[in-house]
Amino acid sequence: MPVSPDLQQRLISPSEGERHRALRELAATCSAQEARPHLLQAAQDPSRLVRFLARELLAEAGDRSVAAPGHHPPPPTPGPTGPRGAGWLLFSFEGRIGRFTFWTASIVMSVGTSAVAALLALALGDSPLTALLAFLLAIPAAWANLALQAKRWHDRDKSGWWILVNLVPLVGGLWSFVETGLLPGTPGPNQFGESPY
């Protein structure tokens, strides 16, 4: 079925939501060949949501011409640490993780860091070397904490820069706790990758 003039108008609507709905209708009612020019145009849309959907629809039709590396979510891999293992989980700011993985990694990391710090204090006593080693241990622990939070923000379909909300006095930490620790991620794939669930 050819693309109707009404649908063509909706595909260039000023409303992001209308363009998104029109793309879904286009995929449902038109052949891949008829939809392709409109999907290619939508793949350059200023809205990330519209771009993401257009690229997904093109990929489903077997066309990856506009899907530059990094724009397509990685294929899902089973396992609690996501698609790339523990190194990715603790040190990468890319991808998504669910609440269970976030809490498990955070608790294991906190217990492990505390245990190593306690062993250092027992072995070396109260010395400048103990303080230096504890500081050096805190750097990768802080990095891992930020990486875990960034991936949870991604799971909520928000930029990892939302980590900075922690700097807002009084409410920032609570806001971050609720968003990253309690609320579920977006269902299905989003702009940051496949669902980790």
Percent pLDDT > 70 in the chain is 88
> pLDDT higher for 109 or 41?
109
CA distance 59 to 73: 11
Q: Is the pLDDT of residue 69 over 80?
A: no
- 120-175 per-position pLDDT tens digit: 889 888 888 988 998 999 999 999 999 999 999 999 999 999 999 999 998 999 99
Q: What pLDDT is stored for residue 147 in this prediction?
A: 95
CA distance 55 to 69: 12
CB 60 within 8 A of CB 73: no
Q: Is the pLDDT of residue 92 over 70?
A: yes
And the tokens for 72? 């397509």
CB 115 within 8 A of CB 170: no
CA distance 193 to 71: 9
